[in-house]
Every structure is written in C-alpha cells, then in structure tokens.
Copies of this chain bind each other. A is one copy, B any other.
Amino acid sequence: MENFRAHLDKFIKINDEEYASILSFFTVHQFKKKENLMKEGEVCRSLFFVSHGCLRKFFINEKGVEQTTEFAIENWWITDTFAFERQVRSDFNIQAVEPSIVLSIDLASQKVLLEKYPVMEHYFRMVYQKAYAAAERRIRYLHEFTREELYVQFSTQYPWFIQRIPQYLIASFLGFTPEYLSEIRARLRS
C-alpha cells in the first residue's frame, strides 16, 4: 500500500502509527482483469482507491453498447459519487481493466475515519477539488474539440492513456467505433 501512503503524504502530515490506523479503515482487494467491482442497479457501497492497476466506469447506452466515462489508474479514486453519497442504486458499472489492487471504504467507515482524523477532511477536500478541476476542463473539451482533437488532447495530457488502455476502450471513452479510432490513428501517423 506504498502508493496510498505516498498519496496521503502529498497532502497531509501523518506518522506511521496514524497511517496504520487510517489504513485499518480500508479493505484491500485484488481484482482480475475484467472483474466487476460494482454493477449497474446495485447500491453504491464503496469508494475505491487504485493502489495498482486500472479501473474504468461505464454505463450501457440505449443501443446496448458500453460507454466508458472514466478511467482510474494508480492514486486515483473512483466511485459513482452521487450514488455513494446518498447510498442509492448506481446506474454505472465499475470494472478492472488490468489486474488491480484496490482499497475500498464504505460511507459509514469514511464518516468514522473523518471524525477520528479530521486531517482526512483536508485530504478528501483536495482529492475532490482536483477531480472537479479535471471534470471542468473535460466538459470544456467535450464542447470545444472534435473527436479527433479529443483523442490528441487526451494522448498529450495523459500519455498512459494510450499506452495502457486497450484500443476498444479508448474508442468507448471517446464515443468512437474501434474502426473510426483506427482511421484517426492512421491519419495522425501519416
């Protein structure tokens, strides 16, 4: 769980004893590639931190096609925030893209953790602030760019995106068909 400790250290000061106590609020899971962490229709019980690997969040659109809206690699948090906060059914799925090691916490445990370690309010404030800043920019890109430009934008901003994510999932994230993505890649190479 070195990644989690390092990520906490970026935002807050805690000693080894406090870290051990904070960590005890979390459950560690290992997920195989394509294993589901949460399925559409289930109450959203967990907030996930990716220690190793990669997860994605997706929904199934009217045509029955999986539409990926988010990826999470090392040091990213992922859940359906709206459904987690309210403990209601989610209309998203969360699935492992790679074999992954993940920490999870439920809402009641998070509440106790925050009461015991108020410094974690600062940590989560920074996590959500940064996530919101990224979402604000992404909403702008969705307005501003053509799909080809979106591909270039994400490739430049997140180099791991192209290196680690299978092509059919990149296509699903950008709302392309895999064939259209191949065309764009060919055009950009030429």
Contact = CB atoms under 8 A, between A and B. Distances in A.
Interface string A127-166: 0111111111111101110000000000000000000000
Nearest to A175: B143
Contact of A69 (B67, B92, B140): B140
B81 A136 contact: yes
Contacts of A85: 129-130, 133
B81 A144 contact: no
Of A130, A135, A138, A144, the most chain B CB neighbours within 10 A belong to A135
A80 interface: yes
B144 A67 contact: yes
B121 A81 contact: no
A135 B92 CA distance: 14
Contacts of A70: 136, 139
A124 B126 CA distance: 9
Contact of A135 (B132, B143, B175): B132
B59 A144 contact: yes
A114 interface: yes
Nearest to A118: B118
A139 B136 contact: no
Contacts of A144: 59, 61-62, 67
A32 interface: no
Contacts of A124: 125, 129
Given A69-B139, A69-B143, 8 more contacts: A80-B136, A82-B134, A85-B130, A118-B118, A122-B125, A128-B128, A135-B136, A139-B139
16 contacts: A61-B144, A62-B144, A67-B143, A67-B144, A80-B136, A81-B132, A81-B133, A82-B134, A82-B136, A85-B133, A92-B140, A118-B122, A121-B121, A125-B125, A125-B128, A142-B142
